[in-house]
C-alpha cells in the first residue's frame, strides 16, 4: 500500500521529490492524465514502473521536465520546428520525440535513438519536478498510471484503484483533483523533416501546422491492418488499449441494461444507464475515462458510445474510443 497525499504543500512536494530521488515511485497529476513517476536516470526505479504497470520492458517512457532549460541534457540535436513547438505549447499536453543524448538510456527509450520529452501544465506536477531538479534530478519518467492496456486514470482515486495493490509503502500518490484535459498528450515525432503525429491529443494538427508552417503527417494507419512493427513502440497505439471490462460499442443503438455515453444534446434511450452527458467536446474528453470506469463499477456488460464529430480534440477522443471498442 502506498501513501496518499491530498494536501500537497511545498513541503509535501519536497518530500515527494526526495522519494523519487531515493528510487521510489510517485504518482502525480498532470493536465492530461495521472502519471506514475520515477527518476529517469535510475534503472532500478524505472524497472519498478514496468513491474507495477505490468508493461513490456521495450516500450519507451516519456521524460517529464519542469522547464526548457532542462531539455538540452536529454537530447543531441533539435530542429527549428521542434523548438517552435516547444516554445509555443510547453508547458502543455504535448510530447516531442527527439534525438536522444547519452543521458537517455535504453531503459527509457526502449533501445531507440529517440527520447520522448514533455513539460506538463499542472502546478502540482511542475512543483514536484522543480523540487526534483533542485535535488539534482534530471527528469521524471512517467507513463500513465494504469495497468498496461487499461484506461488511464484522471483522478488520484483511479490511480489507487489501478495500482494500489502493486505499489509499496514507500511509494506515493499525489492527489491534485481531476485532470482538466482527460486524454493523453499529443505525441509528435520531430526527428524527420516534417512533424509526424504518433498519438492525437489536445494539441491538434491545425495548431501544429500554424506554429511550424509545415505539412504534418498523421499515423492514422495505426488502426489498419498494415500496422507497422515500429509503431508498436507507441504502446498507446496498440489496438486493444484504453479498454474497460465492459464491451464498448460505437455509434450503435444501445440495448437495454447497457451504459450510454454521448453529448448532452443526444437523449438517453429507454432502459440504459447514462454514464456521461458532456456539453462540449472538451468536457467529453475530461469525463470520458471516469465514465468508462463508472461503467465497470456498475458491473455493466456493455457500454454504448456516440462519438463526437469534428476535428481537434474530437479526433483524439475517437482514436481512444476505436481502441476501447477493440476490447481486451
Site for Mg ion, rule CB under 5 A: 144
**Shortest Cβ 97–ligand TXA spacing (Å):** 5
Residues in the interface with ligand TXA (CB under 6 A) total 28
Q: Which of 8, 115, 208, 314 binds ligand TXA (CB under 6 A)?
A: 115
Is the previous residue joined to 91 through a cis bond, with omega within 30 degrees of 0? yes
Which of residues 144 and 290 has its CB atom nearest to Mg ion in the complex? Answer: 144
Instruction: Please report, as residue ranges, which positions from 144 to 163 form the binding site for ligand TXA (by CB under 6 A).
Output: 144
Q: Which stretch binds ligand TXA (CB under 6 A): 15-23, 77-85, 230-238, 280-288?
A: 230-238
Which of residues 32 and 212 has its CB atom nearest to Mg ion in the complex? Answer: 32
Q: Which of 19, 114, 160, 290 binds ligand TXA (CB under 6 A)?
A: 114
The closest of 19, 7, 14 to 167, measured between CA atoms, is 19
DSSP state of 106: H
Quick check: 150 and 52 in contact, CB under 8 A?
A: no
- Indicate the SS3 state at residue 299: coil
Which of residues 127 and 259 has its CB atom nearest to ligand TXA in the complex? Answer: 127
Instruction: Report the distance separating Cα 278 and Cα 98, nearest Å.
Output: 36
Does residue 32 interact with ligand TXA by CB under 6 A?
yes
Does residue 184 interact with ligand TXA by CB under 6 A?
yes
Which of residues 42 and 144 has its CB atom nearest to Mg ion in the complex? Answer: 144
Does residue 60 interact with ligand TXA by CB under 6 A?
yes
Q: What residue ranges in 190-297 does DSSP mark as E strands?
A: 196-199, 217-218, 247-250, 259-261, 273-276
The item of Mg ion, ligand TXA, none sharing an interface with residue 212, based on CB under 5 to 8 Å by kind, is none
Residues 6+ apart with CB under 8 A from 89: 203, 207, 211
Instruction: Report the distance separating Cα 18 and Cα 106, nearest Å.
Output: 24
Which of residues 49 and 277 has its CB atom nearest to ligand TXA in the complex? Answer: 49
- Indicate the SS3 state at residue 68: helix
Does residue 95 interact with ligand TXA by CB under 6 A?
yes
Backbone phi and psi for residue 90, each to the nearest 5 degrees, phi listed first: -105, 140
Which of residues 109 and 144 has its CB atom nearest to Mg ion in the complex? Answer: 144
Which is it for the CA torsion 145, 244, 180, 159, positive or negative?
negative
**Shortest Cβ 142–ligand TXA spacing (Å):** 5
The closest of 158, 30, 134 to 91, measured between CA atoms, is 30
Q: Which of 142, 246, 275, 281 binds ligand TXA (CB under 6 A)?
A: 142
**Shortest Cβ 35–ligand TXA spacing (Å):** 3
Backbone phi and psi for residue 129, each to the nearest 5 degrees, phi listed first: -65, -40
Q: Which stretch binds ligand TXA (CB under 6 A): 26-34, 166-174, 282-290, 313-321?
A: 26-34
Instruction: Report the distance separating Cα 317 and Cα 284, nearest Å.
Output: 8
Kindly report the number of other CB atoms within 10 A of residue 80's CB atom: 9
Q: Where on the chain is the footprint of ligand TXA (CB under 6 A)?
A: 30, 32-33, 35, 59-62, 95, 97, 109, 112, 114-116, 118, 120, 142-144, 184-185, 187, 198, 233-236
Amino acid at each position: 500500500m502506498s501513501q496518499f497525499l491530498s494536501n500537497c504543500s511545498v513541503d509535501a512536494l519536497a518530500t515527494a521529490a526526495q522519494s523519487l530521488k531515493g528510487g521510489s515511485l510517485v504518482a502525480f497529476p498532470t493536465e492530461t492524465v495521472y502519471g506514475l513517476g520515477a527518476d529517469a536516470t535510475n534503472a532500478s526505479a524505472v524497472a519498478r514502473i514496468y513491474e507495477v504497470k505490468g508493461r513490456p520492458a521495450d516500450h519507451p517512457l516519456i521524460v517529464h521536465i519542469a522547464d526548457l532549460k532542462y531539455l538540452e541534457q536529454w537530447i543531441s540535436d533539435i530542429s527549428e520546428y521542434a523548438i517552435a513547438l516547444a516554445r509555443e505549447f510547453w508547458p502543455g499536453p504535448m510530447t516531442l520525440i527527439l534525438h536522444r543524448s547519452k543521458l537517455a538510456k535504453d531503459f527509457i527509450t526502449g533501445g531507440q535513438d529517440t527520447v520522448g520529452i514533455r513539460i506538463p501544465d499542472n502546478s502540482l506536477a511542475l512543483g514536484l519536478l522543480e523540487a526534483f531538479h533542485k535535488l539534482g534530478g534530471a527528469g521524471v519518467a512517467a507513463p500513465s498510471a494504469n495497468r498496461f492496456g487499461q484506461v488511464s486514470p484522471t483522478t488520484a482515486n483511479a490511480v489507487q484503484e489501478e495500482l494500489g495493490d502493486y505499489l509499496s509503502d514507500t511509494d506515493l500518490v499525489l492527489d491534485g483533483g481531476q485532470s482538466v484535459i482527460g486524454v493523453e498528450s499529443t505525441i509528435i515525432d520531430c526527428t524527420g523533416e516534417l512533424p509526424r503525429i504518433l498519438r492525437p491529443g489536445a494539441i491538434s494538427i491545425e495548431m501544429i501546422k500554424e506554429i511550424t508552417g509545415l505539412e504534418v503527417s498523421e499515423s492514422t494507419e495505426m488502426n489498419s491492418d498494415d500496422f507497422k512493427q515500429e509503431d508498436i513502440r507507441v504502446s498507446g497505439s496498440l489496438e486493444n488499449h484504453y479498454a474497460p471490462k465492459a464491451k464498448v460499442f460505437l455509434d450503435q443503438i444501445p440495448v437495454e441494461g447497457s451504459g450510454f455515453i454521448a453529448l448532452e444534446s443526444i437523449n438517453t434511450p429507454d432502459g440504459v444507464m447514462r454514464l456521461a452527458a458532456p456539453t462540449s467536446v472538451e468536457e467529453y474528453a475530461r469525463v470520458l475515462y471516469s465514465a468508462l470506469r463508472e461503467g465497470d463499477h456498475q458491473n455493466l456488460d456493455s457500454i454504448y458510445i456516440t462519438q463526437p464529430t469534428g476535428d481537434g480534440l474530437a479526433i483524439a477522443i475517437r482514436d481512444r474510443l476505436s481502441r476501447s471498442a477493440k476490447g481486451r
